[in-house]
Amino acid sequence: MSFRALYVEQQVEKGAVVRHEAQLRTLDDRVLEEAPGDVAHHEGAGDSGAVTIDVDYSALNYKDGLALAGRPGVLRRSPLIPGIDAVGRVEASADPRFSPGESVVLNGDGLGESRNGGLAEKVVVRGEALVRIPDAFSPLHAAAIGTAGFTAMLAVLALERGGVSPDSGDVLVTGAAGGVGSVAVAVLARLGYRVTASTGRAESEGDYLRELGATALLNRADFADAGRPLQKGRWAGAIDVVGGATLANVIAQASYGATVAACGLAGGADLPTTVLPFILRGVTLAGINSVEAPRTLRVEAWSRLASDLDVHLLDTMTTTIGLEDALSAADRILAGEIRGRTVVDVRR
């Protein structure tokens, strides 16, 4: 049997990509069994139970953009099918928790990085990381949420665990018009928080962000230059996807006892800060890792998304493209030009 997939071949030397090719291919099913690192190939794969999924949708995340555009740091082997998200129906399962025909979603767990991923009509995954799609969502909704929305909810859970509540004060979301940011704004607003959205696109996306629930907008340029390590405390909590000087400024503006969830590096991987906000204001910096999230956290986050994310707002932040279109959309997500979430209909 054969299936369609995006396929990336790349050669990396001393951390630099010296050869890169990404294209739509028709592959034999055996590709999923033969590749080292893949679930079906793993000795002891039965421990976690390999599950074969007929994929309907994947998504375009920032990381998928990096992999498709030939940037280093995502692909851990080559060749590889990219795609860190997969949504579809169980075809066969060695994991007793899943039965053929069930609608399921998988985010991360090495898909599209060290294992063949979801930008394909078929994928084999670990049952341990697989989640049944909550009744509140269609398969398209689950893909629209994808890793970005799942990560946004992990960040919201981190704020809650840090003791942040709607009564604590204002919260900030950076990179607000992107995937993680859009879902974070919508969920926080629905939970009753007063949400300030930081964006570089206030002019074009201001109405969109207000519709998602942002009560105030800030220009991301205000956070771009390294400022003093302690500034006026403004935020009871924050969700940051930008990193670099932006995250340092967010931490510097965190109020006493605030929690800041660090999710991303769209603006840089460095963090030019000092210990002062931590030892003088008791600020907590919570790291978010969606890829390796344990099963209990995955199930909790998806269950909270079902209760705390308005599907009508999710629809307003979603664009759907075909499998081959993902190749050209990769550069646009890296340039920060894509609004909200992009679903990839792998059968289109």
| Binding-site ranges for ligand NAP (CB under 6 A) | 61-63, 147-148, 151, 175-181, 199-201, 220, 241-242, 246, 263-267, 288-291, 333, 336, 338
List strand residue ranges (DSSP E) for the chain, in order.
2-13, 16-28, 50-60, 85-93, 103-107, 122-126, 131-132, 171-173, 195-199, 214-219, 235-240, 254-262, 284-287, 318-322, 341-345
What is the crossing angle of helices 202-212 and 179-190, to 10°?
40
Least Cα distance to 308 among 60, 136, 65, 61 occurs for 136
How far apart are CB 167 and ligand NAP at their closest, in Å?
Answer: 27
Judged by beta carbon, residue 168 or residue 199, the one nearer ligand NAP is 199
Judged by beta carbon, residue 84 or residue 130, the one nearer ligand NAP is 84
- Kindly give the residue spans of alpha helices, DSSP state H, lying in 162-234: 179-190, 202-212
Beginning with the edge strand found earlier in the chain, give each strand of the sheet holding 195-199 in spatial order.
214-219, 195-199, 171-173, 235-240, 254-262, 284-287
Cβ neighbours for 95, distance < 8 A, ≥ 6 positions apart: 48, 49, 50, 51, 127, 128, 130
How far apart are CB 156 and ligand NAP at their closest, in Å?
Answer: 13
Judged by beta carbon, residue 181 or residue 237, the one nearer ligand NAP is 181
How far apart are CB 15 and ligand NAP at their closest, in Å?
Answer: 18
Task: Collapse the DSSP code of 25 into the 3-class scheme (helix H, G, I; strand E, B; otherwise coil) and give the result.
Answer: strand
How far apart are CB 21 and ligand NAP at their closest, in Å?
Answer: 23
Judged by beta carbon, residue 333 or residue 346, the one nearer ligand NAP is 333
How far apart are CB 214 and ligand NAP at their closest, in Å?
Answer: 11
Judged by beta carbon, residue 40 or residue 183, the one nearer ligand NAP is 183
- Amino acid identity of residue 155, one-letter, is A
CA distances from 147 to 35, 112, 169, 210, 288 (A): 24, 12, 28, 23, 12
Judged by beta carbon, residue 196 or residue 199, the one nearer ligand NAP is 199
DSSP string for 82-132: --SEEEEEEEEESSTT--TT-EEEEE-TTBTTTB--SSBSEEEEEGGG-EE
Judged by beta carbon, residue 49 or residue 110, the one nearer ligand NAP is 110
How far apart are CB 288 and ligand NAP at their closest, in Å?
Answer: 5
How far apart are CB 180 and ligand NAP at their closest, in Å?
Answer: 4
Q: Which residue is nearest to ligand NAP (CB)?
A: 178
Judged by beta carbon, residue 237 or residue 336, the one nearer ligand NAP is 336
How far apart are CB 110 and ligand NAP at their closest, in Å?
Answer: 12
